[in-house]
Amino acid sequence: MKKQVFLLPLLLLLLCGCQQAPQESSTQVYAMDTMMDLTVYASTSEAGEQALHAAETEIYRLDALLSRHDESSAVSAINKSNGTPVAADEEVLSLLKTSVDYFQQTNGAFDVTVAPIMDAWNFTGETPRVPSRQELDQLLTLVGSDRIVFGDGTVTLEEGMAVDLGGIAKGYASDRLAAVFEENGVDSAMVSLGGNVYARGTRPDGNPWRIAVQDPNDPSAYLGVLLLTDKYAITSGGYQRYFEQDGVTYYHIIDPKTGDVARNGLTSVTIVCDSGTMGDALSTALFVMGYDNAVSFWQSYSTDFDMILVDEAGTVYLTEGLKDCFDSSLAEHEYEYVYLTKN
Ligand code: AMP
Ligand code: MG
C-alpha cells in the first residue's frame, strides 16, 4: 500500500516530463484578395504542418467556389443567371440564403447584390473611379437581396443582377477553418484572414489570445488589445481598401440604399462573437448603419455579441461584455473609451 502511494506521484512526474510542449507552426496564404496568417499549436510539428496544409486546401477551395472574379467559380455561374435558374451546390446556396437572412435582419444594410455597384467603383481594379449619381441610380435598380429567387437546388437572378460575397466569405472561411482544426486535433490556433481573426482555444500557456485592434484613424497604431478565448473578432473599416480622389477618400463599404460609400460617422466596427459568418456580415452591416442604429441593433439582436465602434472623432465605444477582455494600457495614442450597456 505504502509503495503505491510513492509510486503514483513518481509515475505522474515521469508522464509530465515526457509530454512535449506544443509545437508552433505557421504559414501565410494569399487568397480572397487578402493576406492570411495562420498559426497552430500541435503536439508535433508534423501534426501542425498537416493541419496547416488542410487549412490552406480549404481556403483555396472556398476561394475557387466563392470568388466572383474567377470565371469558373460557382458564384460566377450564378452571376450569369440572367433570369434563368442556375443549379448550385448546397454549400453556396446555403451561404447565399444566410446572406439574405442578414439582409432581412439588418434592414437591408447587408446586401450581397451590391455587386454591380462594386463594379462601377472598381475598388479592386487598377483604375478605381467615382461613378456619377446618375450611374449609381441606374445601377440601384439591380440591387435588392429580396429579389434573389431560390428553387430546389437552384438560384435565379434577374438580368444584370449579381452577387458579391466579399462581405461574408472570409468570416465563413474562418468558421470552416474551425472545423478543419477540429478534424486535425488542433485545439490552439490563431488565424487572421484580412480583418477577420479567429482565436481558437487558448494560447499554449493557457492564457487568452491577444488581438491588437487597429486604430482606423491611424492604421499604424493600435487602440487596444482584445484578450480572447474561442472567439472571432471581425473588423470592417474604411481604411482596409480605398482610393483617394481630389482629397476625398473612397472606400469599399457601400450603402446599398444609395450606392455611395457608407459614411455615417464610423471609421471601424469590430464584432466579437462565436461565429465568423455572423461576425463578418454584422461588421459590414453595422458599419453601414452608423452609430445610433448599430447600438440599437446590438441591444435588440437575437444573438448576443460584443462590438467595438470607432468614430471619426476617435472615440472608442465598447460593449459591456468586453470590460474584462480589453487592455488599453499599451495603446499608442490617448483615446476616450466609452462602455455601452444594454439598457
Ligand atoms: P467587409 O470588409 O467584410 O466589411 O466587406 C467589404 C466587402 O463586402 C466589399 O469589398 C464588397 O465586396 C462587399 N460589400 C460592400 N458593401 C456591402 C454591403 N453593404 N453589404 C454586403 N456586402 C458589401
Ligand atoms: Mg464583413
Minimal-distance CA residue to ligand 1 atom 22: 167
Q: Is the pLDDT of residue 13 over 50?
A: no
Residue 223 · residue 197 · CB < 8 Å: no
Minimal-distance CA residue to ligand 1 atom 1: 167
What value does the CA radius of gyration of the chain take, rounded to a whole number of Å? 22
23-40 per-position pLDDT tens digit:
999 999 999 999 999 999
111-161 per-position pLDDT tens digit:
999 999 999 999 988 899 999 999 999 999 999 999 999 999 999 999 999
**Which atom of ligand 1 is nearest the CA belonging to 124?**
10
Residue 311 · residue 267 · CB < 8 Å: yes
For residue 332, what pLDDT is reported? 84
Bridge partners of residue 306, in order along the sequence: 272
Look up residue 197 and give its amino acid. Answer: V
Strand 337-340 and strand 316-319: the pairing is parallel
3-state SS, one letter per residue, for 43-88: CCHHHHHHHHHHHHHHHHHHHHHHCCCCCCCHHHHHHCCCCCCEEC
228-276 per-position pLDDT tens digit:
999 999 999 987 788 888 888 899 999 999 999 999 999 999 999 999 9
Q: Is the CB–ligand 1 distance for residue 256 below 6 Å?
A: yes
Q: What is the distance between the alpha carbons of residues 115 and 162, in angstroms, rounded to a whole number?
A: 5
Q: Is the pLDDT of residue 85 over 70?
A: yes
Best residue among 112, 252, 263, 280 to mutate for probing ligand 1's pocket (most ligand atoms within 8 Å of CB) is 252
Alpha carbon distances (Å) from 337 to 4, 64, 85, 312: 58, 41, 50, 14
Distance 110 CA to ligand 2 centre (A): 9
Which residue matches cell numbers 482565436? 199
Q: Is the pLDDT of residue 314 over 70?
A: yes
Grid cell in block for residue 314: 476617435
Q: Which residues of 236-251 are buried (b: 16+ CB within 10 A; e: fewer)?
A: bbbbbbebeeeeeebb
DSSP assignments along 120-142, one per residue: HHTTTSSS-----HHHHHHHHTT
Q: Is the CB–ligand 1 distance for residue 169 below 6 Å?
A: no
Residue 289 · residue 310 · CB < 8 Å: no
Q: Is the pLDDT of residue 71 over 70?
A: yes
Which residue matches cell numbers 512526474? 13
Measuring CA to CA, which residue among 27, 39, 45 is closest to residue 210? 39
Alpha carbon distances (Å) from 164 to 66, 127, 209, 323, 327: 9, 19, 32, 35, 35
